[in-house]
Amino acid sequence: MNFTNKNVLITGGTTGIGLATAKEFIKAGANVWITGRNSENLENAATEINSSKLKTIVSDTSNLSNLSVLEQAFAEGGNKLDVLFLNAGIAVFSPIEEVTEADFDAQFNTNVKGHFFTLQKLIPHLAEGSSVIFTSSTVATAANLGTSIYSATKGALNKIAQIAANELAGRKIRVNIVSPGPVSTPGLHKVVPEEAKEYLAGATAMQRLGDPAEIAKTVLFLSSDDASFITGTELLADGGYINFALK
């Protein structure tokens, strides 16, 4: 797939799926902007990618004042976005009886409010015929223990994306959802114990965790002209997790 001179913005692009996707877009010739909450993580990502086609923006998408800075960066640069990959997200897993208000607010602020208002602020900067991708999750459909809030945020995202696909269709902007299953990312390794990772791998038909690069290539497909008649769709990249786990 060729993205030569296309402009791509990835929120939450410093690690995991976001970082892998930035690498793939740059390999395909795109100009890529990634956001992250702190400059150190962005510097580490820039060092790892090592490309003049990469630009970094410090932005916490859960903070609306930070979103104004992000919008201003594109307004001043005059760049129209061909791909907006709304990927930033956090997860806190605990039973319903142990969920705190702080954990609830943090997840909804980052995973839902952040994506919603990032899209809203950047709609004027999307090129006609551009592509918007939301990172959701198989947990939006599954009912795993301890994931009530995280799952709810992903379910909310799915509905926002579906409505956005209808609202933006007049400008030929396609909006789609990528829902990974269990993927070997720093985020997963941080919040999931080793024995749970083994369970998750065994709960997929392919009997392994996904690789971030596999999700990245799915994002590139949905962003490409090869997916020109696909919008408002959720694409599961889960190694068969949903079907296998429900048997």
pLDDT tens per residue across span 99-158:
999 999 999 999 999 999 999 999 999 999 999 999 999 999 888 888 999 999 999 999
Angstrom distance (rounded) from CA 144 to CA 172 = 36
Q: What is the pLDDT of residue 201?
A: 83
Which one is catalytic: 150, 175, 219, 220?
Answer: 150
Asked if the model's pLDDT at residue 247 lies above 50, the reply is no
127: amino acid identity, one letter = A
Is 241 designated active site? Answer: no
Angstrom distance (rounded) from CA 84 to CA 122 = 9
pLDDT digits (tens, 9 = 90+) for 60-85: 988 888 888 888 888 888 889 999 99
pTM of the prediction?
Answer: 0.93
Q: What is the pLDDT of residue 176?
A: 98
Q: What is the pLDDT of residue 246?
A: 47
pLDDT digits (tens, 9 = 90+) for 4-44: 999 999 999 999 999 999 999 999 999 999 999 999 999 99
